[in-house]
Amino acid sequence: MAQSYDELPYGDIAYFHTHPAHLGAIAVLCGLAPPALAGGRVLEVGCGTGFNLLAMSRSLPETQSLGLDASSTQIDRARALADEIGATNASFQVGRLEELDDSTGPFDAILAHGVYSWIPPAAQTALLELIRRRLAPNGLAYISFNAKPGWNARGVVRDFLIGAVPADGSPIDRARAARERLAAFVASLPDPDSPYGRQVASLAKSLADEPDYYLLHEYLAERNEALAFGEFAARLAAHGLQYVAESRFSTSAFTQLGADRTALDVVGDDLVRREQYHDYRWQRSLRQSIVCRADRAIPRVADAAAVGKLWLSPRVKLVDPNADVDATDFDEARREEDGEVVQIHDPFYRQFLRRLRAVPGRRLQPDAFLPDIRDYIGFEIGPEKSRHLLMQIVLKGTIEEVWHVYAEPTAYSAGVGDRPRACPLARRQASNGGAIVSRLHRIVRLDDAERARLARLDGRTDRATLAAEFGIGNDDLERFAAMALLEG
Ligand SMILES: C[S@@+](CC[C@H](N)C(=O)[O-])C[C@H]1O[C@@H](n2cnc3c(N)ncnc32)[C@H](O)[C@@H]1O
């Protein structure tokens, strides 16, 4: 398997839902103490080209990170990238996870994104054992895997491609053959309007936009096991581990509200059965699960004081930041991920988005809102009740994806220095056309002109020269700062 990654490495991408500060915040929302990341250690297993880990380690400068991957080509790339951006708190090791000895760690976070479903059973067992042995007592692990039943439908396309594409040939040739065979297959379907025809055509359409490495490693990989949640939970239990929540919190069964929560009652109170039933209702195809040691009690009721200390960073941006809050009963806001405009009705969310504009770094701790609770509900309540209400608002806003939550503030400059300096990784990506990751571990979309401006910010040119010679004005710089792309 490592050989195929040597021949066609995985892409340079970062995954927000693996970030340990985010995992810690979700743990807090479940009533757990988060691991301390300053002075702590992070391990990413199957780290590929190291991009995710490097972006993460720059945002957590006081955390030591180790990336492990069986593919030496990818680890060479990771090391070269670490040198290029001057990373001092991340190191990389070529090796099989089955062979990682106990001298490394313990780790406060162990991350395995895109690994578990794609390795043989013995390596899957070794991964869970590694987590059992090497996870610190209040550490968190992240494991993503292809889930049933959503992957069953995709599995049809995968099975077809495995049969249709010759096993020999270079990875690039195989990916090309896969695209051709799939297109011909869809065109030849006798009943394109049947549920089967539509399902295959829609999967083929979405695959057309995916890069070769994804097609190859997902659809033509030697192994790709989709699991029902119950099976995953049983395997965790057999290794002294347990499920905490989905890293994408809103997709956990136990965070559902209203009719979606009631629908689960048919399977009773058992958390595992409810999670699995939820997957079947929503035809889930991917889980990004947070895991901890089985000896920890998970209250799944948050501690209000701990929630008050989380950091919130908005996922939506007001369309008209100067609009009068009293003029309408909702605000229009643009969603970060797809640019879609949504209506925001909740008065607290509206206050939050307004207040953020004046806050350097555009992130806030819920405690900052304690004095506002009276205005929110219209009458006085005691401090304990205020905290409790605030905690419920934070939970709701996280589930409704109004903000991202972090257990610790990630490192970036809230303001613009005299000689503005962009994060080296972002600058590099701005020049080479790759995905740009902020210090909030979010993918940031910039157009070509913005990329060129960001790439200029190497900390050597003063603001007056940037404006006069390169047309980079204060507005541009403030915007980059607000996007968490600057170091100074
Ligand atoms: C699908 S890729 C995912 C890469 C990266 N985590 C991502 O999601 O972008 C799986 C990675 O696991 C690595 N891998 C597979 N088996 C492994 C093993 N037994 N020990 C360590 N790494 C392994 C592969 O080399 C590959 O880089």
In sequence order, the 6+-apart residues with CB closer than 8 A to the CB of 187 are none
Distance 61 CA to ligand 1 centre (A): 25
The Cα 61–Cα 280 span in angstroms is: 41
Domain 2-148+226-293, second-level architecture: 3-Layer(aba) Sandwich (3.40)
Distance 2 CA to ligand 1 centre (A): 8
Single-letter code of the amino acid located at 381: I
Taking the domains of the chain in order of start, what are their residue ranges? 2-148+226-293, 152-209, 313-406, 424-482
* Eight-class DSSP state of 253: G
Classify each residue of 233-270 as buried b or exposed e, where b means 16 or more C-beta atoms within 10 Å of its C-beta: bebbeebebbbbbbbbbebbbebbeeeeeeebeebeee
Q: Which residues pair with 436 in a beta bridge?
A: 444
The Cα 428–Cα 416 span in angstroms is: 19
pLDDT for 9 = 67
Would you call 68 helix, strand, or coil by DSSP? strand
Any atom of ligand 1 within 6 Å of the Cβ of 438 = no
Answer whether 101's CB lies under 8 Å from 78's CB: no
Integer angstrom CA distances of residue 56 from 354, 423, 472: 29, 12, 28
pLDDT for 11 = 72
Residue in 3, 4, 5 to alter for ligand 1 test, most ligand atoms within 8 A of Cβ = 5
Answer whether 334's CB lies under 8 Å from 320's CB: no
Residue in 69, 77, 96, 214 to alter for ligand 1 test, most ligand atoms within 8 A of Cβ = 69
The helix or strand, by DSSP H or E, that contains position 93, with its residue range, turns out to be strand 90-94
pLDDT for 2 = 53
Any atom of ligand 1 within 6 Å of the Cβ of 119 = yes
Question: In this structure, what token pair is assigned to residue 205?
Answer: 């359409």
pLDDT for 357 = 82
Any atom of ligand 1 within 6 Å of the Cβ of 216 = no
Any atom of ligand 1 within 6 Å of the Cβ of 14 = no
Closest ligand 1 atom to residue 71 Cα is 25
Any atom of ligand 1 within 6 Å of the Cβ of 44 = no
Distance 239 CA to ligand 1 centre (A): 21
Single-letter code of the amino acid located at 46: G
pLDDT in tens, 305-335: 999 999 999 999 999 888 888 888 999 999 9
The Cα 242–Cα 272 span in angstroms is: 10
Any atom of ligand 1 within 6 Å of the Cβ of 5 = yes
pTM metric for this prediction: 0.94
The Cα 70–Cα 83 span in angstroms is: 20
Any atom of ligand 1 within 6 Å of the Cβ of 10 = yes
Any atom of ligand 1 within 6 Å of the Cβ of 480 = no
Q: How far is residue 337 CA from its own chain's centroid? A: 12
Tell the residue nearest (CA) to atom 12 of ligand 1. Answer: 46
pLDDT for 338 = 84
Q: Which of 404, 424, 425, 411 is nearest to 484 (CA)?
A: 411
Any atom of ligand 1 within 6 Å of the Cβ of 158 = no
Q: Which residues of the chain have pLDDT under 50?
A: none
pLDDT for 10 = 66
Single-letter code of the amino acid located at 115: V
Closest ligand 1 atom to residue 6 Cα is 25
Task: State the Cα torsion 124-128-133-137 to the nearest 10°.
Answer: 160
Can you give the three-state secondary structure of 164-201, one letter per residue? HCCCCCCHHHHHHHHHHHHHHHHHHCCCCCCHHHHHHH
Tell the residue nearest (CA) to atom 10 of ligand 1. Answer: 115
Integer angstrom CA distances of residue 199 from 177, 195, 280: 21, 6, 17
Question: In this structure, what token pair is assigned to residue 361?
Answer: 């770094």
